[in-house]
Chain A
Amino acid sequence: MKSNIILAGVGGQGILSIAAALGTAALENNLHIKQAETHGMSQRGGAVVSHMRISDKPIASDLIQMGTADLILSVEPMEALRYLPFLSERGYLVTNTTPFINIPNYPEYEKVMEEIHRLPRFVAIDADGIAKEAGNARASNMVMLGAASPFIDIDFSKLEDGIREVFARKGEQIVEVNLKAIRAGRQFAQENK
């Protein structure tokens, strides 16, 4: 198996928590992994991206080649569009529908969603709303991971284990909320892909 995943968002939205859960799951499965992150200045509310590569064979580059991403997983709709040149012909785009507006020239929301709906394969999910229903608005990133899970070739149970490990030190209650979130996200994607 091999998955090239672009994780996108805005500095401070916590895309690295998604990467951590995914990376832990991949390690549990004895898979090879490379994951390039954005640190430093952009973390102050700028566009951030992480290239995540998981494979059962050794991986050469830390960066994904253009047109070869199997999945763009974005926690913000406009950021999802920024990395389209990386998406492969058969790739999926999975994005949160809640915009993060911290710039004066943020485009009209409808136009952003129009561009997303123009894609052949996508899932657009109200991760914030679903996270609230699951019991904690801050679990929206795990809703997103759940929504992306049907397109990643890793056992869902291993992703759940990854969440248990990443959130263990925050207590059982937080683990449960995040598990509920990832399951809700997965269910939505399976029904709406």
Chain B
Amino acid sequence: MQKHLLLGVEAVGQGAIDGGMSGVYAYPGTPSTEITEYIQDNELAIERKLHSKWSANEKTAYETALGMSYAGKRTMACMKHVGLNVAADAFINSAITGVNGGFVLTVADDPSMHSSQNEQDSRYYAKFAMIPVLEPSNQQEAYDMAREGFALSEEAGVPVMLRITTRLAHSRAGVAMKPVLDENQLSMPQDSKQFVLLPAIARRRYKSLLEKQAAFVKLSEESVYNQYIDGDEKSLGIICCGITYNYLMENYQDEACPYPVLKVSQYPLPEKQLRKLEAECDEILVLEEGYPLVEEDLKGYFANGTQIKGRLDGSLPRDGELNPDLVGKALGKEIYQGIPVPPVVANRPPALCQGCGHQDAYEAMNEVLADYGKGRVFSDIGCYTLGALPPYETINSCVDMGASITMAKGAADAGLVPAVAVIGDSTFAHSGITGLLDAVNEKSNITVVISDNESVSMTGGQDSSAQGKIESICEGLGVDPAHIRVIVPLKKNHAELVKLFREELEYDGVSVIIPRRECIQRASRRKRNQSRHANH
């Protein structure tokens, strides 16, 4: 069969299309972004008119997907792990409403924080919501699970989580495709009260979710994705979750793994196979990417019994991404390390691109803020977060999407005036608007810098949902139009930028400064595409 070379995220996108999905809803976030981009560019998806436009944030994405499921169609919501925090209210409650059309939530976790502010493990969210999880070990499984996840969701009656991690998301391998399934027809939920979570109905729905739990375990026990692979050497049994199976196999390339292995790619844990492994083996080693979820569970199951090894007893590191070397060490193998890194090698952290507009804004801010003292700039999630590093060191916080405006307000409430917020155009649309409303309502003494590069740049230049609307949003929230100031951040405008920052910092009230210049990466991509277009 012909295989296609796909990134894990692309395999998920292709699987969703082939699984009869009618729409994907997402907000960009590494390492999940390319799922939606792949669907946006896919011929069949375009021909079928599958929904694939970006949502304003993960909560709106998740809720819209739930609406599509209500109407009987198959749908996917995609986000990075921290995006699920934003969508958590909708997510937890959607387990109680249940679904009509199949609903797959793809969450991309980022262990080792390659491009994130934490490494939270989304499997805990699924456990909290009490829904099944699929966790592929390779790109082919990512494709298969995305394609078949809708049917599993329809059978289980709840959303199903497809959990991937950075390494699988951004690694390519050959994927064999399967027949394309039809989309669902429009259809109403059988029970017209299913989605009405008034207490009396919610209590009934919640009981039904609890009653389904045993069936979910049975689905896992019978799942083709969970495999018990026998071994003669019973001193150790190994549980491999998701991609860790590959790291184990990498350590047994020229020989069969002597130990019994339980490969887990569907949760809740398959209890039957677990009990078998426990009965047969003296000790159990748990390999899992993220937090020690399975290991904690087993310590509960087998209290005072079989010794469980993993991230909690020090056999593996408590944090960070796993790899074949760490797994090898846990198995007691010798690891050959090549030549050590010579001391001459310096760190090379990411930095703002040369010519980026954020640089000009920071240059001017630093000059003005020198008069007020350090420590009063609250910032947000985006390229401009790199302003925390040398040479700028302008900003003093980066917590979660939208926290710049609200934290600046809180600091101003405490007496730190003026307080400054720096937020990007897309982050403002995502979660900044409500915070600005709070500040306007209380006439807080804050200066909000919406550093507008007309794109979601850190994730590769997607369209920002507030494009062309920022001034009118601010005005609509009640910001005095005389204190909504737009300027082009360029070196030649430095003096004007400084003057403008100084004026607005002196103003006692909410002011919004909008340095606006298109992201230089996006601009050069746009020009390249135009010239390529012109040549054909």
Contact = CB atoms under 8 A, between A and B. Distances in A.
Interface of A: 10-12, 23-24, 27, 32-47, 51, 59-63, 65-69, 78-79, 81-89, 91, 102-108, 111-112, 115, 119, 169-171
The 9 closest A-B pairs by CB, nearest first: A40-B115, A40-B30, A46-B350, A67-B336, A60-B249, A61-B250, A36-B171, A44-B350, A62-B171
A35 B171 contact: yes
A86 B247 contact: no
Contacts of A11: 350
A98 to B, nearest CB: 15
- Residues of B in contact with A, size category: 35 or more
Interface of B: 3, 5, 7, 30-31, 33-34, 114-115, 167-168, 170-174, 243, 246-247, 249-250, 253, 323-325, 328, 335-342, 344-353, 383, 386, 390-391, 458-459, 532, 535
Contact of A78 (B345, B352, B386): B345
A84 B5 contact: no
A32 B325 CA distance: 22
Contacts of B336: 66-68, 89
28 contacts: A12-B353, A32-B173, A34-B171, A35-B172, A36-B170, A40-B30, A40-B31, A41-B350, A45-B350, A46-B348, A47-B347, A51-B171, A60-B247, A62-B167, A62-B243, A63-B324, A66-B335, A67-B335, A81-B341, A81-B344, A83-B341, A84-B339, A85-B338, A88-B338, A102-B351, A103-B347, A115-B344, A170-B532
A106 B346 contact: yes
The secondary structure that dominates the B interface is loop
A43 B339 CA distance: 26
A112 B344 CA distance: 7
Contact of B325 (A34, A65, A78): A65
Nearest to A116: B342
B338 A44 contact: no
Contact of B335 (A65, A87, A102): A65
A66 B342 contact: no
Contacts, number: 163
A148 B171 CA distance: 22
Most chain B Cβ neighbours within 10 Å, of A39, A105, A115: A39
A86 to B, nearest CB: 6
Nearest to B30: A40
A8 to B, nearest CB: 11
Nearest to A26: B5
Contacts of B338: 66-67, 69, 84-89, 91
Contacts of B348: 10, 45-47, 78-79, 102-103
Contacts of A60: 246-247, 249-250, 253, 324
B295 to A, nearest CB: 21
A104 B345 CA distance: 13
Contact of A39 (B5, B30, B347, B390): B30
Given A82-B345, A102-B348, A33 B173 contact: yes
A33 to B, nearest CB: 6
A171 B531 CA distance: 12
B31 to A, nearest CB: 6
A84 B341 contact: yes
Contact of B339 (A34, A36, A41, A87): A87
A23 B5 contact: yes
Contacts of B170: 36-39
A88 to B, nearest CB: 7
B325 A40 contact: no
A119 B342 CA distance: 12
Given A36-B167, A61-B249, A61-B250, A44 B342 contact: no
